[in-house]
Every structure is written in structure tokens, then in C-alpha cells.
Amino acid sequence: MQSYHYISSAILDLETIEDILVNDKKLALSEEAESNIQKSRKYLNKKITESAIPIYGINTGFGALCNVKISPGKLTELQENLVKSHACGTGETVDKAIVKLMLLLKIQSLSYGNSGISLDTVLRLVELYNLKIFPVVYEQGSLGASGDLAPLAHLALPLIGEGEVYFENEIISGKDLLERQGWKALKLQSKEGLALLNGTQFMSAHAVYALLKSYKLSYLSDLIASVSIDAFDCNLSPFDELVHLARPHRGQVKTAERIRRFLNDSLIAKSEKENVQDPYSFRCIPQVHGASKDTLSFVRRTVKTEINSVTDNPNIFIEEDKIISGGNFHGQPLALALDYLAIAMAELANISERRTYQLVSGLRGLPAFLVENPGLNSGFMIPQYTAASIVSQNKQLAVPASVDSIVSSNGQEDHVSMGANGATKLLKVVENVNSVLAIELFNASQAMHFREPAKTSTMLSNVLEEFRGVVPVLHNDVTMAPHIKAAKIYLNNFEFKDNIFD
């Protein structure tokens, strides 16, 4: 039986979105949302009829052309021209999973009744979502300030029979879509084009997508680090609760708790150690991983506020009888958060690569490069090179986009967030973290082979058994790339039994 998520004023959060995606729920507007949309449109129609005063974006031009009055008979043409002229995206196409999120978040933002859009337009967006007809959107083109204008224009084009969409595993034109579905192109009314284009849904969809992956990778970084801790025969004392309660950053305390739980019944962890201290990449896991967790929490709060907000312009307030042109489309809150998340995730890869380096260094009873006949075999020498190259790329990608601003629209839009660039490069950082963690687990699994018959914890033994069913222990040199790929797929498909959002 098909299940639905009803768009309403109820708070949309990561868990809800995860539930919508995992259970493939369709969308429907609640009675509250339909009422909000209809009241706002009725109010706007009345305002246009009764007032001769220019209202930005409704009966005026846009951006630097805001003082140009448009006659009532040209308002539909004005809105359609806006959509077509702003569809200037280029570069790679955006993943369909993110376009799906863009539709969801745009529908949510329009449902509050502050945008003046018509119910028919929102219902068409809902249809696109439910039928899995996703507009073709491009990565480049948004300054992340006057809304994500270019990508959202591409999202809106199919409504008027323009642009392209993914339809049943092919790309077809917006015109062909209308013919196949038996739909008529929408005639956008006053303000509708602007309501569709103004907004931060390109940035926020990327942020949601990256957050869902980042929470999983944060958990996996703790899990894989725990395998490495036993593989390198480390002390457990740095994870003692007393240490972390003396400096109780929430992420730090949480990380130490997880490590203790993952290694709870490990005989290796409980054995007497010859080494008094361990390298920072092991000893300081709670401090480093924990700081990234705290960043995740900050970004999550920012994104939660954003996706439950009205981010187009101007905004309509019926009870106060006001139409206000403001700046809620400016992406600065997201731009800073996206940059911060990229930095935090890059750090998980940084410290992971250092643990991999230690594991192949021929220390603590482990053979050099984790191979039985070093010299004849290079073993795990080069996977560490690969991890190092990826970490270096992450350092480049983690340079903040939000510190830049370029004047646009003839000086009217003189400060922009560049959050869209921060959003697209964040995805690459997150994918890189997955690769580096996969390499660490590949190395840690191999290193644990040389600890046998000593036993790690029950939980980690189960993880290793499952992992080795995909990526075996190696005894001689083989082509490594397929095993790294298999390790990445293993992490992508990992089944989480704990609440990763805790």
C-alpha cells in the first residue's frame, strides 16, 4: 500500500526526510497547506486589482529593473520570461536524488502561504515528485544570494513546457512531457515565476543530501577507527569517560562512549600494552571525531531552520496586510554551514589516512605494508598513497566558498553568498571521505589478520567477517582497485542498527 507524507506546517527534519526517501513515500498537500496557498493567492489577486502602487516582482521588472512598471496584460509573459531567461545553468547535471530533494523542499516552502503562488502550480510540482519526473538541473549558475536562480529556473521550466526532464530512464523535453502526460502548460500568474525561482532549495537540498551521508560516515569513522585501534594494539585509557567529562564537548563525549561500546569485550583492547602512549591519530580520536560531530549538529540546526522557512521574495503577510520585499533568499546561513561541514568532514579523512599510514609502517608487530613477504610483495604500500592523494584534494576543496562575493545585477545584488559552489564541492568532499574510510577499513582488516588468534570485540568480529566476505584478506600482491571499490560499496550499503542521528 502506498504511503504518503503530508506537506504541512509540521517541522521537517532529517529523520522525516530519511523516512520519506527510504520508504519511497509520495507527497500530498494537507488541508492546511492548500488553504494557506489559496488564501495567499486570493489576497495577492485582490491587492493587484485594488492598488496602482508598483509591487516588486509582481508588476515590476526584476533585480536592477525593479523600477520598471509592467502592465496587467503582460504579467503572465513577465513571469514566463523570468523563468526562461534565468535558466542559465551549465556544467554537470545534478544527481536525480538531489533534484528530488529540491522538489520536496520547494513544495514545503511554498506551502506556508507567504508566496502568492497558485494551488495548481504547487500541485504540478507534487505530481512531478510523485511520478518521479525530475527536471534536468545543472550544477553551475547560482550565486546563492537572490535565491538559487539558475538551478531553480531549470526546476521550473517543465511547468511551462520548456527545459528537459528525466522520464522513465530517458531525458525528454518539457514539451514532450506535456504531450505524454496529457498535461497543459501552466500559465504562470503574477509573482509565480519569482516564487519558483527565489529560494535556497538548490543549496538546502545539497545540504540535506550531504548531512544524511555525513552522519553515516561519522558513525562509520568511529567504527572503523575502533578496528584500527585493536589492529594497532592501542591503549583504551584515552577513551576513559573521566578524561572526556573533564572537557565535555558533546561530540567528544559521544565519540569516546561509542569507542568504548564498540570495543567492550575486546581481548586485544584489554591486554597489557608495551606502549605507554599512542599516536594522536588514535589517542585523539574522540577530540577530532567529536569536533566534527559538533559541527554536524550545528549544520543540522541551520539546515532544519532553512528547510522549514519561506525563502522567496517578496513575502506576503495576509493578517498584517503587507507585501514586503526582503532578503530571505540570501544563502549566507547555508553558505557558512556548507563550508564548515566540508572542513569538518575533510578532517575525518585527514585523521583516517594517518591511521592507515601507521598501520602499514611495520610497527607493533605488524609486517611492513601488511604483507607476508614484503619486498617481493608491495602489499598495502599504495592504498595509503591513494588515501593521501584524496586527503590532499579535500584540503583544496575545503577552502571556503563563502568568503568570496562578486557584484551582480548592475550593482543591485552587491553581496552574494556563493553557497551553491560550497554545496557542490561539499558533495565531492563527502564522497572522498567515504573512499578514505574504505581504504582504512581495508588496511585495518588486513592488519587484524596478523593479530590472530587474539580476539577483538564481538561486534567488530561480526563487522570484519561481513567485510571479508566482500574484501578478502590478501596473501600476495593483486590488483587493488577492485578491492577498494568493493570496500566503498560495502560502506555505502552498510546497515545501521544504531540511531546515527543521536
Catalytic residue from among 4, 6, 43, 56: 56
Q: Which of 285, 284, 269, 276 is nearest to 232 (CA)?
A: 269
Please compute, for residue 139, the number of CA atoms within 13 A of its CA located in the half-sphere on the CB side. Answer: 14
C-alpha cell at 146: 537572490
- Total residues found in the chain within this entry: 502
Whole-number Cα distances in Å, 474 to 235, 334, 384, 434, 445: 27, 45, 16, 22, 10
CB 208, CB 16: distance < 8 Å = no
CB 369, CB 328: distance < 8 Å = no
**Dihedral angle, C-alpha 459, 460, 464, 465, nearest 10 °:** -30
Q: Could you tell me where the DSSP H helices lie in 239-365?
A: 241-245, 250-262, 267-270, 280-283, 285-307, 332-359
Q: What is the DSSP letter of 239?
A: G
**Dihedral angle, C-alpha 252, 253, 259, 261, nearest 10 °:** -160
- Report helix angle 332-359 to 419-449, nearest 10: 20
Residues linked to residue 27 through DSSP beta bridges, in sequence order = 5
What is the DSSP annotation of 66-104?
A: TT-B--GGGHHHHHHHHHHHH---EEEEPPHHHHHHHHH
How do strand 164-167 and strand 170-173 relate by DSSP bridges?
A: antiparallel
CB 266, CB 460: distance < 8 Å = yes
φ, ψ for residue 422, nearest 5 deg = -60, -35
Alpha carbons 232 and 354: distance in angstroms, whole number: 12
What is the Rg, in whole angstroms, of the alpha carbon atoms belonging to the chain?
Answer: 26
Is 209 annotated in the active site?
no
C-alpha cell at 120: 495548481
- SS3 call for 24: coil
State which amino acid sits at residue 451: R
C-alpha cell at 84: 526562461
What is the DSSP annotation of 351-412?
A: HHHHHHHHHTBT-TTPPBTT-SSBTTB-TTHHHHHHHHHHHHHHHHHTS-STT----BGGGT
The catalytic site residues sit at 56
